[in-house]
Amino acid sequence: VKSNLTRIQIKSLCRLGDIYIPGDESLPSFTELGCVEHYAKILDYMDNSDLIGIHLLLWAFSIMPNKLLRGLVNMIENSQASKSSGASVLRLLRVALRGLIFTLYYSGYSGQGNNKTAPFEVLGFEVSVYVDDLKS
């Protein structure tokens, strides 16, 4: 299975991303950040079974009206404590969507068109390990 997404699937991922991360005055939305350009950093390493699932999900979400998509995301997000029979599928979707969206957004990567401050700068996340003594 190829890790490339179609334009429709990318658009679908951005729609979902903006529900999870709508942005505000200081932080860009998922789409504004342009982090979606870097999806291959995740998909290139996925097992085939996961990759098939992502392709299908993004295709299915692409034909859903906004209102329905938001409703579904809310249902997914409220599935953690549920003991109903379908809850495990919703929780699986929750992990997949949160995993994909938050990983891209807080990856430190952005797209070429982003004009807002990068999330790491707003968060103040800057870490390093001293290696200067090893260079010689």
Partner 1 sequence: MYDFIIIGSGVSGGRIAHELTSGGAKCALLEAGREFGAKTFPLGEINYMNQLFWRGGLELNADASLCFLRGKCLGGGSVINQALMNRFTPRVFDEWRQLTGVDYFDEKVFSRLYDQLQDEVEMVEIEARYRNRNADIFTSGLDRLGYAWKPLLRSQHDCKLERGSDCIVCLGGCPRDAKQSSLVTTIKWARQKGLEVFPEFRVSQIIEKKGEVKARGAWKGKPHELSAGKVILACGPLGNVPILRRSGFHKKLPSLGKGFYGHPQFIVFGVFKEEINGFKGAFQSVASDDEKFVRSGFKLENNFTPPISAAFLLPGLGAENLNVMKKYRNMACVEIAVKDETPGEIKANGSGGVKIIKPLTETDSGKKKKAFALINEILREEGALRVLESDQGFCLHLMGGCGIGEDGATSVVSPDFLVHGSKNVYIADSSIFPKAPGINPSFTIMALSLKAGREMLRR
Instruction: Report the 3 state secondary structure along the chain.
Output: CCCCCCHHHHHHHHHHHHHHCCCCCCCCCHHHHCHHHHCHHHHCCCCHHHHHHHHHHHHHHHCCCHHHHHHHHHHHHCCCCCCCCCHHHHHHHHHHHHHHHHHHHCCCCCCCCCCCCCHHHHHCCCCCCCCHHHCC
Check binding of 87 to partner 1 (CB under 8 A).
yes
Check binding of 66 to partner 1 (CB under 8 A).
no
Residues near partner 1 (CB under 8 A), total: 53
Of 37, 102, 111, 116, the one binding partner 1 by CB under 8 A:
102
Of 27, 57, 58, 72, the one binding partner 1 by CB under 8 A:
27
The closest of 97, 79, 100, 75 to 88, measured between CA atoms, is 79
Of 14, 51, 64, 109, the one binding partner 1 by CB under 8 A:
109
Of 12, 36, 61, 94, the one binding partner 1 by CB under 8 A:
94
Q: Which two tokens stand for residue 116?
A: 């807002």
Check binding of 103 to partner 1 (CB under 8 A).
yes
Check binding of 133 to partner 1 (CB under 8 A).
yes
Binding residues vs partner 1 (CB under 8 A): 19-24, 26-27, 38, 41-42, 44-47, 49-50, 73, 77, 80-81, 87-89, 91-92, 94-96, 98-99, 102-109, 119-120, 122-125, 127-134
